[in-house]
Homo-oligomer: A and B are copies of this chain.
Amino acid sequence: MQINPPYLMFLGDVPDKLAAKTAYGIVDWRREWCLGQLRLPGCQADLGLPDMTVAQAAGQGVKTLVLGIVNAGGVLNESWVPAILEALEAGMDVATGLHIRLGSDPRIAAAAAKHGRQLHDVRHSEQRFATGKGTKRSGMRLLTVGTDCSVGKKYTALALEKGMRERGFDADFRATGQTGVFISGRGVAIDAVVADFISGAVEWISPEAAPTHWDVVEGQGSLFHPSFAGVTMGLLHGAQPDAFVVCHEPTRTTMRGVKHPLPSIQEVIDLTIRCGQLTNPAIKPVGIAVNTQALGETEARAYLDKVAAEHGLPATDPIRFGVGSIVERLEAEFPKAGA
């Protein structure tokens, strides 16, 4: 899936910021791709971008109208359809992360066909993959893993891409979830792939590369999450990471959506190495990324120091304190594939 920037961000009539979470994520990481926002009456979100009509956006060279929004049921609101049709007529592609496919609306399907435009349903994968082969590919890979879902694996991977590039690494973020796909313009929502092809799809996402090139692969779920560990396992095998970073949220008591307690960071390190060795015998941890939002600054620093000492690894909050310590560890551990 290749989504072409620049984007016009469509917010429709979302009732709050949360319903536009994906859109905010895209603006956070790819502000330069987002030329404007299109809001309908009643919209309660504001990305801080110039308000723009479809015609104005087309005049500024926008290539894709992005619906980075959700609503109950993931359906397509009737009030959104005119803007979508107008964008297709103006020569733009349209991309969504909704549950419903854009092409399931006959008017949208007809307009896309008539104007030769692409409809990107990021939550669905039309692509056919091979099954995973598990053989070592050239190039270096880092994977973010977690004690749970939604503990900052995407954010950490994006922060590492940025931090590694700033230190002279040849690094690319590789998306495995829908927001990540919008942010990188490429990738696969790996949880939407047919089960037989999880690791094969990740092998496609992170193909053979130059020996000193780093793919920073966005992790999903947790090996300890009873709903999604299968996805996490296939992703680990397909990514065959040389290095991994464990992401954690210290105030959470049960795993997202279920009643299970969180595993310890050490358990995640141990099982990730145990299973990851199947496709990369040299896999090793290079850092711990903690979301310390719920802690005061002194408390956060004390917590990170404790975690770092316990595991002999750099521990940081990527948002609060940056990823410099993890990038330094990467340079030390992989001197031939560094900056």
Contact = CB atoms under 8 A, between A and B. Distances in A.
Interface of A: 131-135, 190-196, 198-200, 223-224, 226-235, 237, 257-260, 271, 274-275, 278-279
A226 B279 contact: yes
B260 A278 contact: yes
Nearest to A255: B134
Given A191-B194, A223-B275, 5 more contacts: A135-B258, A195-B230, A196-B228, A232-B233, A271-B275
- Within the oligomer, what is the number of copies of this chain? 2
B230 A198 contact: yes
Contact of A257 (B131, B230, B232, B279): B131
Contact of A195 (B133, B193, B223): B193
B194 A224 contact: no
Contacts of A131: 227-228, 257
Contacts of A198: 195, 230-231
> Which are the 6 A-B pairs with shortest beta-carbon distances?
A134-B226, A230-B234, A191-B196, A233-B233, A198-B230, A131-B227
Contacts of A229: 199, 233-234, 237, 275, 278
A230 B231 contact: yes
20 contacts: A132-B226, A133-B226, A133-B258, A134-B226, A134-B259, A194-B194, A196-B231, A198-B230, A198-B231, A200-B227, A224-B278, A226-B278, A226-B279, A229-B275, A230-B231, A230-B232, A231-B234, A233-B233, A260-B278, A274-B274
A153 to B, nearest CB: 16
A227 B192 CA distance: 17
Contacts of A233: 223, 229-230, 232-234
A333 to B, nearest CB: 24
Contacts of A192: 194-196
A123 to B, nearest CB: 10
Contact of A230 (B135, B227, B230, B259): B230
B194 A193 contact: yes
Contacts of A226: 132-134, 199, 237, 278-279
A237 to B, nearest CB: 5
Given A227-B131, A278-B226, A195 B191 contact: yes
